[in-house]
Structure formats: structure tokens, C-alpha cells
């Protein structure tokens, strides 16, 4: 049994410079970094690093970073046999400039991620029978997300949707196909149409999402914790207190930890604690995939904090 992640695979090209260039300007920068990302790939790596058998389904571009992105997933322990290499487009790329004062400029080219379609859903469907859960996000076309959720529902496989990046709205038919939806405050606000800032609003938003048909709604409140609501119960899980240095990929770590907990057979409440632990650990380290905890670190943290 494995967990399948169907979603985006990106490369981030990061340049640092004293300031951001103005239009038409060429500026001397300082450092260049090339880091693998994409919410789909991040969540797959989060799971694999926690020791869960994980398969990634998605697309990379043949001529720009494709082989390297697949290799990176393999190195993390992710099964990549169902990643399609597209000859016609680039891989998903984010071109990022970061200035000394922290300002940034980002251009995202969806590339191969934007080409994900029913053929990929077909490949996904062929391996669903052996899966424990399907993880989805919103960095591939929404039609493919809906079709994948439908295929999982038909195969009786649990669907966990991270509605990120924040969508303007989601097709109404998607909600009843979702077992667990995991927005942060901004994403929850976008989905429900009122601001979500803090626990009370998160409980209200979770209620709206349940009404639309999801089985469980988990609203991530950053350093404060998470609100979780199902038909039967509503509970709050506080965040672990850590020295946060960079919360990039904390949300992806959370979803990896949550799914790993469910994979292990934990209750929803305990699995949410696992998500919070993975998110907190990711916040203590710089970077995206590099900040995701391995199993050893994760177990040691839980042992120390959950006595």
C-alpha cells in the first residue's frame, strides 16, 4: 500500500541581489540557487522522508530540468514511474529574485504542470487500487484535479485536498469528493468569502466547507495551530512551540505528516498532531524540501514533545 500524490513538480531558480531591478535594468546579483519545489513534489518528499511508500504522478518537461526533477524525487525515495516526460514544454519553473530587504519578484511558468490532463488521470487510475490515499493541490489544471478526485472516490480511496494556491472558487462538484480539505487562513477566506483570521472564524469557515460536502475540514492557522471539524466533532490542536526561521513548505510538511499519520492508522486527531509536528519542524529550517523532517528527527521530536 502506498500514498499517491498527483500534482505539480517545479524547479525554483533563485537569484539574490542588493535590490530588485527596475524595468529595463540589468543588475549585478550575488547568489544563484536552484531548488526543487512544487506543492505536489514537496508533499511527496514530505511523505517519503517520513518513511511512507509514496508514488508521484505528474509531468515534467523533457528539455528543461525534467530528468533532474525526477532524480531528485527518486533520491528522496519517491516512486516516479508514473511521471510523464513532456517533449513539448518546459518543466514548471519559478524565477525568483530576492532583494536584501526581503522584497521579492516571482514569475511562475506552469510548463508541464499546466499540461496535466485526462491522460495523467488515466495513469493515476491504474495505480489507485493499491493506494491508501490520494493527495491533491491546485497547481495543475482544475479539471484534472476534479477528475482525479472522482477516480479516487470511485476506487474508494481517501482524498486529501490542499486548496493552494488560494483559488477564487472551486467547482461545487469537487467538495463531495473530498475527505479532508486543508486550507490555511487565506485559502479558507477565499473559499468561503469572508475573512478567516483566528480560531472562531476558522470554525465558521470549516462549517461552511462541511456543508459543501467535504467530510473533514482542517484550517491551518500558522504558529497558532489548526482547527479541525467533522460532522461529529470540532477540535483545536495548538502548534508546537519552536524557533521558526522560515515557514516555506510548512503547509506541505503538515499535509505530509497528516497523511503519514492516517497511513499509520492513527485517529484523525492524532494524525493532525503529526501534521502539526511536521509543520513545526519544517518551520525551524530554511528552504522547502530541505526543511522537511526525516523520520528519525520526527520521531525524536514527537517523543520529546508528546510525553
Residues of this chain that interact with ligand ADP (CB under 6 A) are: 164, 184, 220-223, 225-226, 239-240, 242, 244, 247, 250-251, 254, 276, 279-280, 283
| Comparison of 223 and 234: residue with beta carbon closer to ligand ADP | 223
Supply the angle between the helices 142-154 and 118-127 in degrees, to the nearest 10: 30
- What is the nearest approach in angstroms of ligand ADP to the Cβ of residue 128? 26
- What is the nearest approach in angstroms of ligand ADP to the Cβ of residue 137? 10
DSSP string, 182-195: --BHHHHHHHHSS-
Alpha carbons 46 and 42: distance in angstroms, whole number = 6
Alpha carbons within 13 angstroms on the beta-carbon side of residue 19 total 4
| Comparison of 15 and 242: residue with beta carbon closer to ligand ADP | 242
Alpha carbons 142 and 26: distance in angstroms, whole number = 37
- What is the nearest approach in angstroms of ligand ADP to the Cβ of residue 202? 10
* 221, 202 Cβ separation under 8 angstroms: yes
Whether 179 is a known active-site residue: answer: no
Of residues 128, 189, 166, 176, the one with CA closest to residue 5: 128
Alpha carbons within 13 angstroms on the beta-carbon side of residue 307 total 5
Contacts of 244 (CB under 8 A, 6+ apart): 223, 280, 283, 284
- What is the nearest approach in angstroms of ligand ADP to the Cβ of residue 256? 11
- Residue tagged 528539455 (cell numbers): 63
Mode of pairing for the β-strands spanning 79-86 and 92-99:
unpaired
| Comparison of 62 and 186: residue with beta carbon closer to ligand ADP | 186
- What is the nearest approach in angstroms of ligand ADP to the Cβ of residue 181? 12
| Comparison of 75 and 294: residue with beta carbon closer to ligand ADP | 294
Cross-strand pairs, 107: 95
Among the listed residues 86, 120, 162, 252, the single catalytic one is: 252
List the catalytic residues. 252
Amino acid at each position: 500500500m502506498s500514498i499517491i500524490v498527483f500534482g505539480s513538480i517545479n524547479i525554483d531558480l533563485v537569484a539574490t541581489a542588493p535590490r530588485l531591478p527596475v524595468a529595463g535594468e540589468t543588475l549585478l546579483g550575488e547568489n544563484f540557487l536552484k531548488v526543487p519545489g512544487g506543492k505536489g513534489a514537496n508533499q511527496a518528499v514530505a511523505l517519503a522522508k517520513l518513511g511512507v511508500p509514496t508514488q508521484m504522478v505528474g509531468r515534467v518537461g523533457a528539455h528543461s530540468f525534467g530528468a533532474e526533477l525526477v532524480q531528485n524525487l527518486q533520491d528522496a525515495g519517491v516512486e516516479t514511474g508514473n511521471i510523464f516526460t513532456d517533449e513539448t514544454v518546459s518543466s514548471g519553473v519559478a524565477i525568483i529574485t530576492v532583494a536584501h530587504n526581503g522584497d521579492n519578484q516571482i514569475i511562475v511558468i506552469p510548463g508541464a504542470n499546466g499540461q496535466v490532463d485526462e491522460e495523467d488521470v488515466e495513469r493515476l487510475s491504474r495505480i489507485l487500487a493499491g493506494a491508501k490515499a490520494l493527495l491533491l493541490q491546485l497547481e495543475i489544471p482544475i479539471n484534472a484535479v476534479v477528475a482525479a478526485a472522482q477516480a479516487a472516490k470511485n476506487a474508494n480511496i481517501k482524498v486529501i485536498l490542499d486548496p493552494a494556491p488560494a483559488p477564487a472558487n472551486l467547482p461545487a462538484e469537487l467538495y463531495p469528493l473530498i475527505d479532508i480539505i486543508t486550507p490555511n487562513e487565506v485559502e479558507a477566506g477565499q473559499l468561503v468569502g469572508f475573512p478567516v483570521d483566528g480560531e472562531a472564524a476558522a470554525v465558521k469557515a470549516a462549517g461552511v466547507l462541511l456543508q459543501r460536502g467535504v467530510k473533514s475540514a482542517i484550517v491551518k492557522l500558522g504558529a497558532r495551530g489548526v482547527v479541525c471539524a467533522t460532522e461529529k466533532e470540532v477540535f483545536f490542536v495548538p502548534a508546537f512551540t519552536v524557533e521558526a526561521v522560515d515557514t516555506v513548505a510548512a503547509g506541505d510538511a503538515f499535509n505530509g505528516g497528516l497523511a503519514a499519520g492516517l497511513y499509520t492508522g492513527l485517529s484523525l486527531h492524532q494524525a493532525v498532531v503529526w501534521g502539526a509536528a511536521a509543520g513545526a519542524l519544517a518551520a525551524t529550517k530554511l528552504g522547502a524540501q530541505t526543511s522537511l523532517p526525516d523520520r528519525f528527527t520526527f520521531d525524536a521530536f514527537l517523543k520529546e514533545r508528546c510525553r
